[in-house]
Amino acid sequence: MQKKTLLIFAACLLFTFARAQNRIWTFQQCLDTALQRNISLNQSRLNTDLSRITLEQSKANRFPNLSASARDGIGFGRSVNPTTNQYVERTTNSSSFGVSSGVDLFNGFQITRTILQNKMNLDAVKTDVENVRNQVILNITTAYLQLLFQYEILKSAKNQAEATVIQVDRTQKMVNAGKVPESNLFTIRSQQATDNLAVVNAQGQLDLAKVTLEQLMEIPVTDSFEVIIPDLVEPSLLLNQTNQEIYNKALTVQPQIAGASIRTNSALLGIKISEGARYPSLSLSGGVNSNYSVTSHTGTSSSVNDSPFFPQLWNNLGESIGLNLSIPIYSNRQLKSNIERAKINALSAQLDEQNTRLQLRKTIEQSYTDLRNSIKKYEAVKEQISAAELSYQNMERKYNVGMMTAIDYLIEKNNYFQAQSNGIQAKYDYIFKSKILDFYQGKPIQF
């Protein structure tokens, strides 16, 4: 019975594994897997946890600390009895216990400002997570579209090869009937070999595109990996926004802009924190302590301290409380150097923010120009495909009745299929660039 149960369990595991291997992935599933497994993204999340711990630590600095201590020792020969403060000529065993606490009352607002700065740093690290997440989304989108592009290229190459096979058969019949010379058949068969090679190359590029996507998803590469091919809508050849409008929108939604701004404010606050060290600091401290001592027999003396443990602790109980005022006068230029470094860090953060905005503007301007050019290219390629198709159909009719040589026919055929390939490339180029501009405006990428 147990053996049968194990066999059923193993069969279920094999079925589940086979089903996972034969899974057909959607774009969203590819993206979700990458976002879950990406190492850089998970490291950014850990950095967020570290920043959160730092913030909680700075908040705890507002409250009093509390510590306890205990000590036990033995004195030999002439020593001071810690309970009576008298010298004794015998072995003494003593114990002491204490509890102490302290709290900063004022330190130039450094604690309050440090808490605020750590909150800013946490918010900045959160934007880093979003920034890495966005990069993963862009990488997956690029790889996914490249895979769809290779699917269509392979389909086009197979169609071309199949059309050539038909022409080989047709030319063979025409040669047998004496309508065309045998050299036409040799030319068509040469084209057939070329088309078969194109299919092999297209299949190889498709396999590489799959590997790229699988590696970005951080999953093992398998031959059974497939994605769902969506019905892509015909691109609308319109630009309804200017690059400045897209840039203005991107400034409000892109995490790297928010992160750079937060870091600038944090660095400016760091100047005030450093300047706070110039002010006097005031702290309050207090403590409770007690001790216990027992003296053993030594020599001929019979005097023994036989006071019980707890009464001694109670009788020796002592309390203390105090205020500590510290006034900085000279610190070997440490305070001034810290302030100067904080000011330089603030200037550097401002430059980083300026550069981040500048890079975003340049990227959007470049993407906008690329999209505009891709629209023009797509329009031109559509006209090219239409003209090449008419020319190819006309040439095919002439060739089939023996009015055209095989070389002239193949030239038109290759021109037509090259125009189709150009159309596929132009379409996916336009789709990708339009998705990029949508992404910079905070719109989700969907297929």
Q: Which amino acid is at 292?
A: Y
What is the DSSP secondary structure assignment for residue 84, as one 8-state letter?
T
Strand runs labelled E in 76-113: 78-80, 87-89, 92-106
Q: Would you state the structure tokens that stand for residue 370, as one six-digit string? A: 């690329």
- The structure tokens listed for 13 are 């595991």
Positive or negative: CA dihedral 136, 141, 144, 149: negative
Beta carbons of 278 and 337 less than 8 angstroms apart: no
Give Cα separations from 75 to 203, 307, 330, 417 (angstroms): 89, 18, 43, 102
Q: Give the whole-angstrom CA distance, residue 126 versus residue 123.
A: 5
Element (H, E) at 439: helix 406-440
Cα distance between residue 120 and residue 113, in whole Å: 11
309 vs 96: CA distance, rounded Å: 11
Whole-angstrom distance, CA of residue 194 vs CA of residue 199: 9
Measured between alpha carbons, how far is residue 17 from residues 9, 78, 101, 211, 215 in Å? 12, 81, 60, 20, 19
Backbone angles phi, psi at 401, to 5 degrees: -105, 10
Distance of CA 433 to the CA centre of its chain: 22
Domains and CATH numbers, the chain: 23-62+107-279+332-440 (1.20.1600.10), 68-104+284-327 (no CATH)
Tell me which residue of 78, 75, 77 sits closest to 92, measured CA to CA: 75
Q: Which amino acid is at 159?
A: N
Cα 140 from Cα 127, distance rounded (Å): 20
Mean pLDDT by 10-residue block, N- to C-terminus, for the chain (447 residues)?
50 44 84 95 95 95 92 73 66 84 92 95 96 95 94 92 89 84 87 92 95 95 90 70 90 95 96 94 92 59 59 85 92 92 96 96 93 90 89 85 81 88 90 90 86
CA angle 311, 317, 319 (to 5 degrees): 165
Q: Quick one: DSSP state of residue 404? A: S
Give me the amino acid identity at 342: A
CA atoms within 13 A on the CB side of 243: 13
| Cα-based torsion angle of the residue sequence 45, 355, 263, 129 in order, rounded to the nearest 10 degrees | -10
Q: Which structure tokens are listed for 38?
A: 């990406």
At what angle are helices 406-440 and 182-216 packed, to 10 degrees? 20
Q: Which residues contact 225 (CB under 8 A, 6 or more apart)?
A: 25, 210, 213, 214
